């Protein structure tokens, strides 16, 4: 079993929930039982912007699934039964309608081709496809991240390098080349 199938196997069959657009064109999808993530107040660095300093002094609470998928620095599109309904440059309203279509869909397969285009397939014919954008972003841009209940995060970059380390750990020396068959 390759690393992608090994990482996603426990997610397969689980319905997505709270599928939404975040900052810019970022997307997040939750899978599995909800969990509270509580970030305690801390002191920001002296160089930080005042809004960052203010936010750092507050306790922040988020609800995430047991698995949290973050579509990050890439282009992407959502299709329903083969027809594209939204992409990274669609309006927020169009993206909101498309993400609502993914809500409740169970993830059934994840594939990555030789260009590192990742296809997330859902049980009722929807697909979310992440596409590296080498013209706009660096080769070491992180395409997507899967946060796991173990505390690890699996990250895939646009150059096909991946890291599977502790979410709190450093990834600088932990990148490996993804093997595509």
On the question of pLDDT at 174 being above 90, the answer is no
Task: Tell the residue number behind the tokens 């809500």, with chain if given.
Answer: 103
Q: Residue 169: its pLDDT value, please?
A: 66
Residue 172 has pLDDT above 90, yes or no: no
Give pTM, 2 decimals.
Answer: 0.88
In this prediction, residue 45 carries a pLDDT of 81
Range of the structural domain that residue 84 is part of: 3-177
Residues 6 or more apart whose Cβ sits within 8 Å of residue 129: 76, 77, 78, 79, 117, 118, 119, 120
How far is CA 179 from each of CA 8, 11, 106, 116, rounded to the nearest angstrom? 16, 21, 26, 10
Q: How many domains does the chain have?
A: 1
What's the rounded Cα separation, in Å, for the pair 65 and 36?
9
pLDDT digits (tens, 9 = 90+) for 43-85: 878 887 887 778 788 888 989 999 999 999 999 999 999 999 9
- The structure tokens listed for 157 are 């970059």
Condensed to tens digits (0 to 9), the pLDDT of residues 1-47 reads 699 999 999 999 999 999 999 998 999 999 999 999 898 888 878 88
Sheet of 107-112: strands edge to edge? 83-87, 75-80, 126-131, 118-122, 107-112
């Amino acid at each position: 079993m390759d690393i992608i199938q090994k990482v996603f196997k426990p997610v397969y069959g689980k319905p997505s929930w709270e599928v939404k657009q975040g900052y810019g064109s970022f997307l997040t999808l939750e899978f599995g039982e909800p969990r509270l993530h509580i970030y305690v107040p801390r002191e920001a660095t002296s160089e930080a912007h005042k809004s960052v300093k203010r936010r750092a002094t507050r306790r922040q609470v988020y609800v995430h699934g047991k698995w949290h998928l973050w579509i990050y620095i890439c282009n992407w599109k959502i299709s329903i039964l083969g027809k594209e309904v939204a992409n990274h440059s669609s309006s927020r309203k169009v993206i909101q309608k498309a993400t609502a279509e993914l809500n409740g869909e169970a993830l059934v397969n994840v594939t990555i081709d030789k260009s590192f285009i990742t296809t997330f397939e859902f049980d009722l014919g929807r697909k979310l496809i992440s596409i590296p954008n080498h013209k706009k972003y660096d080769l070491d841009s992180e395409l997507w991240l899967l946060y796991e209940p173990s505390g690890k995060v699996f990250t895939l970059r646009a150059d096909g390098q991946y890291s599977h380390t502790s979410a709190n750990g450093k990834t600088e020396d932990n990148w490996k080349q993804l093997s595509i068959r």
